[in-house]
Structure 1
Amino acid sequence: MAENTSAQMRLDKLVSVIAANMVAEVCSIYLTRAGKSLELFATEGLNPAAVHRTRMRAGEGLVGLVAEAGEPVNLSDAPNHPKFSYRPETGEDPYHAFLGVPIVRGGQVFGVLVVQNAASRNYAEEEVEALQTVAMVLAEVVAQGVLFNVAELDEPELSPDRPRKFNCEGLSEGVAIGTVVLHEPRVKVERMIADDPTLELARLEEAIGKLREAVDHMLDSGELDLTGESREVIETYRLFAHDAGWRQRMRDAIRTGLTAEAAVERVQDEMRLRVSKMQDPILRERAHDLDDLARRLLRHLAGDVGKRGLDMPENSVLVARSMGPAELLDYRRDRLVGLVLEEAASTSHVAIVARSMGLPMVAEAAGVTDAARAGDRIAVDGETGETHLRPTEDVIHAFDAKRILREHRAAQFATIRDLPAETKDGVHIRLMMNAGLALDMPHLAESGADGVGLFRTELQFMIGETMPRLSDQTAFYREILDSAGDKPVVFRTLDLGGDKVLPYARWEREENPALGWRAIRIALDRPALLRYQARALIKASAGKVLRILLPMVSHVAEFNAGRSLIDREIERARLLGQRQPRQVLVGAMLEVPALTFMLPQLMRSADFVSIGSNDLLSFTFAVDRTNPRVSKRYDFLNPAALTLFRQIVQSAAESGGEVSLCGEMAGKPLDAMALIGLGVRTLSMSPGHIGPIKTMIRSLNYGEISQYVEKLCGRTDHSLRSRLAAFAAERGVVLK
């Protein structure tokens, strides 16, 4: 590979060496060309005239099968395989035995390496592993352009200095103008074959230990100030770092003769290829976390574990193909102003952390990592997704104006923080905030929220190695209530299951966890868990009003069963002579559509209902909101959604019940305007959204929006968003 000869001569020599060492009559290398076709680049044993003439379309023939599957194909009688594609120009008629392995790096297939023999035989396992190892080396040099820049052979050359615009998806609001810093976490693996597998196993174990220590330190460090969902993300990330299956696969790879670094890469490439064929967005996000861990593990093996970006310039914008949440936290927060990724979703872990950091972020920026160079200027709008690489002066001025406007808006929100959220015609709306940790509570005063409408209690259970003691729970809940002062706090009981798994509990894999054993279903099957939590809440709220919310209630009997467990704990406290809460209010979270038809019956025993708009509308429209292929297909400002909310509000009002809404809709001014028009009087959202929502409310006339939304419910439009936006524009309702 290092010889100072032409690329073609090196490939020709390589196939000759492989054929001789494997006693194969044929060895061929196919590389991917633009358009995903596979071209024969070199061969020993086939007709030399077929080189650069024989091409396979994506998925065509056995070579296409190897590339598509991303896995070895080992056949004793290749011509009789249904995928066999006969190419007379190659002269491969007499060959029956076939072994093909993908040339893979970074989860991308760059080609296929093939050996063939005339005799019918299956290649031995060690032969497959040997060919895979050679393919790893070949992938390294092909991907880095040492042989060919294969992916761009058919592409016209573009000026590297020209401005480029990318229409991306905005994932975290804000405007950034800065300097490109390329995120290059990959450690180049120089040595593939191990001299001493025992030594490599020891190196791997040592590096895994250091990796786990580093992740633990990240969580314990006060410097990062991880709160709410961002802390949940890193807690989940820690679980992956301790995954025994991942560790065992790397150990097995070392035992085949690879170095620790090569074993990490092989296992991760296999994982990427498997996940790339899955449609489940949750599994795809887990793959990004595992990528992040693998890159970190390689840095520990290489001894390169210092703080990244120590010399990064002021106003740096990170540009990367993908990134894990922990990698983002490695960079200096005082110099980082934006993030541009090719691969990420709004629910991705890195997006959650970026939002918690207040960092503008865009994703789906296809090709940006190839187009960008370190030091380039870049402008990013995290709201619209518009991104300009090497922007002109006019574009920079326009983005500067956007940035200044956002700063003015933030200053305006500060001036109305202590003013009531009241419409122009005197209708008061309660604006509450969502929280999950004690560190979230200062936002209550900063945002001017009327209270905590949703406090997620499961996080305290997920961050430890064992279930928190009753005394620890009690102290924690008391701290939250004391922080809130006279403002109300609604504690949601444990919403476990789905993607929220306790590290110290056994969980069975479910085909559809969102609809599986979670939330109140777990609480009723394991009543001691709910009683344990209720006992701590009752003790913590002595002399105060305690508000408890039961998640994912499907029918009235389910709620009554959950409430009876809480009532038993109240009675227990009375019999023991303990000081009790002044009042205990128990509500149901309305996330399951079936419960909407039972609200009059529910309100006889529930003190309040909180609409969980995210799950409720996902279940109503049968849409996985984390799946980009369908999440944008349905607009939740649809007549069906508005009619559903209207029915809930009216039914609750007729029963004399209190109803609130928490979810993404509450924090979006246009969506919140529609909800207010339908009669929703309490909205709970992230604290950063309270300013814009209050501004919208104070510019709104309730009577007008109520009448308008009532008419919209009778329409058949796919989305009512444009009509609502036009209404706001005509009446001067502020939506920014």
Structure 2
Amino acid sequence: PRHFDEDEVDVLATVAMLLAEVLVASGAEGADEGLGATVARRFSAISLASGLAIGRVRVLGPVPPPKRVLAENSAQEQARLNKAVAIMRRDVDALIATGLPDADAAEAVASREILDSYRLVASDGGWLKRVADAIRGGLSAEAAVHRVAGDLRDRMRRITDPYLRERLADIEDLIGRLMQALDGGQATSRTAPDTIILARRMGPAELLEWHAGGVIGVVIEEASPSGHAAILARALGLPALAGAAGMLDAASDGDLAIVMAEDGSGGQLILRPANEVVQVFARAQEARSARQAGYAALRDRPSETRDGTAVELMLNVGLALELGQLDATGAAGIGLFRTEIAMLARGSVADVAEQAAVYAQVLDAAGDRPVLFRTLDLGGDKILPGSTRIEENPAMGWRSLRIGLDRPAVLRRQLRALLLAAGGRNLSIMFPMVATVAELRAAKSLLRTEVARIRPAPAQLRVGTMLEVPALLWQLPALLAEVDFISVGSNDLMQFLFAADRGTPGLAGRYDFLSPPVLELLADLAARCTAAGVKLSVCGEHASRPLEAMTMVGLGITSLSMPASGLLPVKALLAELDLAGFRRVLDGIRRTASGAASVREPLAAWAREHGLAI
């Protein structure tokens, strides 16, 4: 293929914009008004934030091409750009200052953590310099922004890392804001109160604005469950889906739509549903609201089975904006604080003082309730800020504690920050992705070094490990002598146990958590931890699913940590569970399950027979 030099590319891009201007002016539409606009369509999707919404669609299209491409007065265009950039930055700063609607202090701080990385994109000097260069080349301010943003968009699309690709949503948002500022207009985020937004991409700032405008659900084609928009949607309680490929071509403004997002699984977008379907989902929505009201009544009740076995239910938390869920759910504490999430949100490695401030805020919010801080679990699908390292299999590569031991200064700074944040209070630290007891001992040695230099020392310092790497199962005697607690990371353990990448769609349902190998592993681990006096918990999405939670309690695991949305449903099931009777049934199922792919069906049948909501 022919290679075009930079000057030729500039000329061709300018011609393309001029042609776009002509086509827009001529009113060329080419819209198809056929039967497709009235037929019901169903799209499979990924759940970002659970919930059910029924409303009218608003489709967010791409930013239109500039109306004016060429300009004679470059100085005047630069002045227009400077003014528009100032307006954009002012609006972003105002949004950061406002944070989440009706947020408490912790949530406001956390929303700023996410939006700060967005502001960095808005303030990037390199990007703005390239826009200025394009203006000096004869383009209008609008055309220059459009040109440079298009270049950035193309580069971001070539990046394979999902976290970095999510910055494309920030770029799209900023393009729109700059174009509106250049046009003298303002963003239109106010809309009808029953609106569902469909978009290709959506940045965190845009999501906050739409939520404030009364939107009841969002579907974003290009988004991930770990992205900023997803994190904020969960914090806002806004039903959200990702995927649904093709929806933007199929939907029109004003279409009736149903968004159904389930915890820890998939979801559906239904466009133009029949009246009978709407009625079914409306009843489901009413039932869901009734269940939520019933769950709320359980908040302050002890977490125990019907026959009196106490079960500790804790939260997985990654940002300060989630801390309000401690009181909202009545959780016993934080069973997993993901220290890397705030760092990923800010886009850079925080210094000791900044880290300590975050950790102190978490401890303050928890009060007397325990908090288990997991040290940085970077790498894998969570890229270290500034890292350019590319690995063929990052989930099994240079990540988590491996980074900390190879870069001990990073781990020591974090341990120092945790000790400073504790300020003499109780402190629990756990290390992720431990593969050998020798690695754990090396990490504990670094911790002892920091403990010796920090005063006041924690009133009680507890040290534990995540159990994700199966190799630890053959080192249990030595491991149990080194730790105060073990937390099973169910997601990673599953993918390593079955050699199945959890990010591969075709393998998503192939291996069941409720399978004989997993149940026998957990039963043996629970028995050995109990005998050694070491506390065992399981954290992750599996713990938030009532059937899986019931089964783990039946195996002897009485501490579970989960997303906030799953805690009260699990608590409700346990309150109705005759644990002694269930254990007899579970033992019988295990004895006859050898070679089976899953025991989900007999477990679910027993639960339904006994009126348990799974």
Class of the TM-score when normalised by the shorter of the 2 chains: 0.7 to 0.9
Q: Whose helix proportion is higher, 1 or 2?
A: 2
**Structure 2 SS opposite 1:373:** coil
Aligned positions, number: 603
Query: Residue 133 of structure 1 aligns to which amino acid in structure 2?
Result: T
- Pairing 1:298–2:179 present: yes
Letter in 2 for 1:582: A
Structure 1 counterpart of 2:169: 288
Contact 2:488 2:538 in 1 (8 A): yes
In structure 1, distance between residues paired with 2:210 and 2:478: 53
Mapped to 2, the partners of 1:367 and 1:247 lie a distance apart of 33
Give the unaligned 5+ runs of structure 1. Answer: 1-72, 76-122
Q: Which amino acid aligns with 2:11?
A: A
Q: How far apart are the structure 2 equivalents of 1:583 and 1:425?
A: 33
Assess if the C-alpha contact under 8 Å between 1:142 and 1:149 holds in 2: no
User: Which residue pairs with 2:590 in the alignment?
Assistant: 710
Question: Which residue number corresponds to residue 681 of structure 1?
Answer: 558
3-state DSSP of counterpart to 1:374: coil
Residue 572 of structure 2 corresponds to residue 699 of structure 1 = no
* 2:248 is equivalent to residue 369 of structure 1: yes
Contact persistence 2:113–2:346 (CA under 8 A): no
Following superposition, the deviation at residue 409 of structure 1 comes to: 0.5
Helix, strand or coil for the counterpart of 1:192? coil
- Give 1:705 deviation, angstroms: 5.6
1:185-204 mapped onto 2 (5 Å cutoff): 186-197=63-74, 200=77, 203-204=80-81
Q: Compute the RMSD of aligned alpha carbons.
A: 3.7
Tell me the equivalent position of 2:193.
314
1:731 aligned onto 2:610: yes
Q: Deviations over 1:219-246 (max 9, x none)?
A: 3324444579876654443444455665
CA contact (8 A) 1:227 1:437 kept: no
Change (3 A) 1:344 1:520: closer
Aligned to 1:587: 464
Matches for 1:55-66 after TM superposition, within 5 Å: none
**Preserved CA contact (<8 Å) 1:178 1:378:** yes
Using the alignment, how far apart are the partners of 1:420 and 1:515 within structure 2? Answer: 40
Q: CA deviation at 1:295?
A: 3.0
SS in 1 for 2:63: coil
Evaluate the alpha carbon distance shift between residue 513 and residue 159 of structure 1 in structure 2; reply closer, same or farther with a 3 A threshold: closer
Report what 1:600 is aligned to: 477
Show the counterpart of 2:309.
427
The partner residue of 1:567 within 448, 451, 455 is 448
Structure 2: give runs of 5+ residues left out of the alignment. Answer: none
Which of 109, 128, 146 is the matching residue for 1:265? 146
The code of the aligned residue for 2:472 comes to: L
In structure 2, do the counterparts of structure 1 residues 361 and 466 end up closer, same or farther at CA, with 3 Å as the change threshold? Answer: closer
In the TM superposition, residue 658 of structure 1 has moved relative to its aligned partner by: 1.7
Query: Shift in Å at residue 610 of structure 1?
Result: 1.2
Q: Does 1:74 align with 2:2?
A: yes
Of 630-639 and 426-435, more deviation after overlay is shown by: 630-639
CA displacement, residues 171-207 of structure 1 (integer Å, 9 cap, x when unaligned): 3222222232333462441122343456555655554
Among the aligned pairs, what percent are the same residue? Answer: 43
The Cα of 1:654 is off from its aligned counterpart by 4.7
2:314 is the counterpart of 1:405: no
Q: Do structure 1's residue 660 and structure 2's residue 537 form an aligned pair?
A: yes
Paired residue secondary structure (1:598): helix
Indicate which of 184, 206, 215 corresponds to 1:327: 206
Please give the residue correspondences for 1:530-679 in structure 2 after superposition, counting only pairs within 5 Å: 530-541=411-422, 544-573=425-454, 578-626=455-503, 628=505, 631=508, 634-679=511-556
- Residue pair 1:643, 1:713 contacting (<8 A) in 2 also: no
Say which of 255, 260, 264 aligns to 1:381.
Answer: 260
Could you report, residue by residue, the CA deviation over 1:104-145 in whole angstroms, capped at 9, with x for unpaired residues?
Answer: xxxxxxxxxxxxxxxxxxx77544432333234445666999
Shifted more, 141-150 versus 375-384: the winner is 141-150
| CA 1:624–1:146: 2 relative to 1, 3 Å | farther
Instruction: Indicate if the aligned counterparts of 2:97 and 2:112 stay in contact, CA closer than 8 A.
Output: no
CA distance in 2, matches of 1:162, 1:641: 44
1:604-638, CA deviations, whole angstroms, 9 ceiling, x for partnerless residues? Answer: 11111112223333344444444546545554444
Q: Residues 343 and 365 of structure 1 are in contact (CA less than 8 Å); yes or no, is this contact kept in structure 2?
A: no
Q: Deviations over 1:235-259 (max 9, x none)?
A: 4434444556655655565565433
Q: C-alpha separation between the residues in 2 aligned to 1:497 and 1:229?
A: 22
Q: Give TM-score, length-normalised by structure 1.
A: 0.72
8 A contact 1:674–1:705 mirrored in 2: no
Give the structure-2-normalised TM-score. 0.84
CA 1:483–1:124 in 2, change beyond 3 Å: closer, same or farther? closer
Q: Map of 1:155-166 to 2, 5 A cutoff? A: 157-158=34-35, 160-166=37-43
For 1:205 and 1:328, the matched residues in 2 are separated by 26
Pairing 1:195-234 to 2, within 5 Å after superposition: 195-197=72-74, 200=77, 203-204=80-81, 207-208=84-85, 210-224=87-101, 225=103, 226=107, 233-234=114-115
